Amino acid sequence: MSELFAKKRAEAEKVLAEKNSGKPSEGDVADRKARLLAQRDLLRKQKEEKRQEELQTFNAKTETKADLFNELKKMDDKTKEKQKEEENKRRLEMFRKVRNDVDKDRKEQNEVNYEKRAKELDEK
């Protein structure tokens, strides 16, 4: 009986040593590679399905030239709006920088004026 327990313990220690050796087994690597490939294929398939759905929706909306023109106009307006937002952000950032520079210059000027005033008062 004790021989059986010793044998099982030795096998368990051997399995643990293999797991802790740092190198994954060839089967584990192959399984992981297969899972990753399947996941990649699934993502590609989902992306393609979404693209096809969007294309069908767009084609349904643009059956006539007037519809196509309106849809393209909406897309163009969205693009221009996004560009306008980016431009506004850039201008706001420039304004903040200038305002900080002006505040800094004003503080420096106030310090200089304070020092002049202090010297004048000390002289009197």
* Number of domains the chain is built from: 1
Chain segment 28-59, per-residue pLDDT in tens: 888 899 999 999 999 999 999 999 999 998 88
Residue 109 lies in a domain: no
15 — pLDDT class (breaks 50, 70, 90): confident
Higher local confidence (pLDDT), 17 or 13: 13
Residue 2 lies in a domain: yes
Chain segment 87-96, per-residue pLDDT in tens: 999 999 999 9
Mean pLDDT of the chain: 88
Token pair 């393209």 in the structure block, residue = 72
Range of the domain at 18: 1-61
Residue 76 lies in a domain: no
Residue 84 lies in a domain: no
**Contact (Cβ atoms closer than 8 angstroms) between residue 34 and residue 40:** no
